[in-house]
Structure 1
Amino acid sequence: MVRKAFLGLISIAALLVIVGYLGQFHRGADTVAIGRPVFGMICILGIFVARSLTLRFAFGTIALLAISTVAVSFLPQKSGGDIRVYSKNLWFGNKEYSAVVADIEAANVDVVMLQEVSVHNNPSLQQLKAKFPHQHVCRFSRWSGIALASRLPFDGDPICSDSRAVLAAPILLKGQRVWVASAHIPWPWPHDSSENEKDAISLLSELDGPVILAGDFNIVPWSGRVGRIAALTGTQLAGPARATLHLRNIPLPIDMVLAPGGGSLEMRPLLGSDHAGLVADLVLWPK
């Protein structure tokens, strides 16, 4: 009886691993994918609990698939030397924005991507103006602005998605036009975010040339959402993934940076926000 109960639990975990790969059909599957590391570990138990060799093989295969696709996000990468960026969800109520500005300046980056730029923390952009004079903000509400600030000049007009999702601006880097984008896409499900993700895809599909994308994706790196965006933009995740948000003590790596050749990440302090910042040294032109 106990064995059957365990097998039932393990079978449910295995099913949830599989469901987590179906995000292209329903965004609820991307939410299920958050639990993939846990479900994969539960499937390992099936190797020891199941009596049938077929079941043991099935559970072992699903466990390997789950754990390997999660683990790859946490592998370190070599630093890229093409561009250095800073990304952070400021948190709309953050009044310690001067500390964030000091951290940005100390990081010696080329481009800054900010999310939840609100009426409370909006002065941070003015404080950055001297060193990052090329700026643009997409204002979706009093609390949900997305911003980008750059040392490098814009090479055209920045654009905003129709709903809260992405801001993209072309910059001139080493004589070439490169798109840098700040992202803040809501939770995939049960949050009603289908239009936000569609708007992100619509904007990103119009960008010509190399793309750098950083921000708060509100989903884990191994999700279908991130995979679809990476495939669309011809980018890969910089690594290793970092747990930038702790939701009820659960570490979640939902802030990330993507570039054509990936790159290395380091995490910055919270500084009045619920999200840690990220600094990434990226590869734009892989050899």
Structure 2
Amino acid sequence: MSMTPRRAPGLVTRLFQLMVACTILAVVLGEFGFVQHALDSLAHFRAHLAAALVVLGLLAFARRFWATGLSAILGAALGFGTSLPVLLGDPRDDAFATAGAYTLLQMNLRYDTADKTEALKRIADTRPDVVTLQEVNTEWQALFANLSVAYPYQAYCGTENRDGVAILSRRPFSPDPATERCRKVEGLITRSVDFNGQFVGVSSLHLEWPWPRPQWVQIDRLPGVLAGLAQPSLLAGDFNATPWSAAVKAVAAAGGWRVVSGVGPSWMALQLPFLPAAKVGLPIDNLLVSPAVAVGEVRTLEATASDHLPVLMRFSLVRESDAPPVAVVGRPAVPAS
């Protein structure tokens, strides 16, 4: 009895299998971003690549390409396994105390946005204790000067260009210049903020895009810049890097911080307004905190005219001893325009 020879896979099938293999390879190589910066650039898309592998795996199973489908699902499991815990994890610390909670609002403003009203409204609506800002230029700085009643403590760095960073605070800054940082090249500004008698180093950071852009040049300089930073401390900013990447882990190591989980997706290109940043965007706005900062809640807010979503964090401080409260500027209504 003669057997019908098995047909060789067609061109479409081969291309499909090649697509699956390349996507799996991208996920695997992205796990080694600590070895080579180019590989870390792949890591930022890990969750999206994993989602694509789920779709490809289901298509493979539908066509009875069992080995291809299984490989795709295993690749997706690897990608999701190292991204979802920090992307969707519960940020709440057991040590968080609601009674002594403070709030921080993180926003990349986008330097060239024509509509600046929405960003001001987010500050007015949330009335945070501290605001960390990126892409602050002189036009933005002039607007924030109008908030000096509600936020009398303001610090700016590099606002003469499009990538300035800033900190607004209702609470006093330390007068000690040793606690201050203004590093334009690294995109960093730091102030020590008085939270009811306990000073906390607060930093706003804006990193460049990943390799081949000079993001790692900035990161490699941070350990020296952050030396002697007031403790406890926290850092918020636009990292242009995902929380599971080697880039964010390197920044966290430089400051003795941990990465706060649960921020979620926060960026989507303005050219794709039909794609919601909070659902399918890249999670590149990150929060880092030292052990004495207990996080209670993290969430993204309604979009402004920027391509980044605002991020709000509630936190408390783990005190070694209670300190007497200091005078704090109240929370008057913040004008939204």
Q: Which TM-score band (shorter chain)? A: 0.7 to 0.9
Percent identity between the two aligned chains:
25
Q: How many residues align?
A: 284
1:64 correspondence with 2:94: no
Alignment partner of 2:305 out of 239, 249, 272: 272
Taking the aligned partners of 1:41 and 1:94, their CA distance within structure 2 comes to 32
Aligned-CA RMSD value: 3.0
| Structure 1 Cα separation of the partners of residues 38 and 207 of structure 2 | 15
**TM-score, structure 2 length as denominator?**
0.73
The structure that has the greater radius of gyration is 2
Pick the aligned partner of 2:267 from 244, 262, 269. Answer: 244
Task: Report the equivalent of 1:177.
Answer: 199
Select between 164-173 and 111-120 the one with higher mean Cα deviation. Answer: 164-173
CA distance 1:65–1:23, shift in 2 (3 Å): same
- Alpha carbons of structure 1 residues 12 and 271: separation in structure 2 relative to 1, 3 Å: closer
In the alignment, does 2:37 pair up with 1:23? Answer: no
Point out the more displaced range, 241-250 or 99-108: 241-250
Q: 1:168 aligns with which of 186, 190, 193?
A: 190
Q: Would you say the 8 A contact 2:233–2:289 is kept in 1?
A: yes
1:259 CA drift (Å): 2.3
Distance 1:30 1:282 in 2: 30
The structure-2 alpha-carbon separation of the partners of 1:227 and 1:255, relative to structure 1 and needing over 3 Å to count, comes to: same
Read off the aligned partner of 1:14 and give its amino acid letter: I
Identify the range of structure 1 (269-278 vs 126-135) with the bigger mean alpha-carbon deviation: 269-278
Whether the 8 Å contact between 1:240 and 1:264 is mirrored in structure 2 is no
In structure 2, what is the equivalent of residue 257 of structure 1? 287
Match of 2:120 among 101, 107, 112: 101
Aligned mates of 1:283, 1:231 — CA distance in 2: 22
Unaligned ranges ≥5, structure 1: none
**Counterparts of 1:172 and 1:111, CA distance in 2:** 11
Alignment of 1:11-90 (within 5 A): 11-43=21-53, 45=57, 49=65, 51=67, 56=70, 61-72=74-85, 73-78=87-92, 80=96, 81=98, 82-90=101-109
Q: Which residue of 1 aligns with 2:325?
A: none
CA gap of 1:15–1:205, structure 2 versus 1, over 3 A, is: farther
Please report the TM-score for the alignment, with normalisation by the length of structure 1: 0.85
1:120 to 131, 136, 139: 139
Deviation at 1:186? 0.8
Does structure 2 conserve the Cα–Cα contact (< 8 Å) formed by 1:235 and 1:262?
no
Query: Are the aligned partners of 1:76 and 1:240 in contact in 2 as well (CA < 8 Å)?
Result: no
Q: Deviations over 1:50-100 (max 9, x none)?
A: 549xx95x7655432211222121234338543210111111123543542
2:253 paired residue number:
231
| Cα displacement (A) at 1:39 | 2.9
Distance (Å, rounded) in 2 between the aligned partners of 1:240 and 1:278: 7
**Residue segments in structure 2 that go unaligned for 5+ positions in a row:** 1-8, 276-280, 321-337
C-alpha deviation, 1:139, in angstroms: 1.1
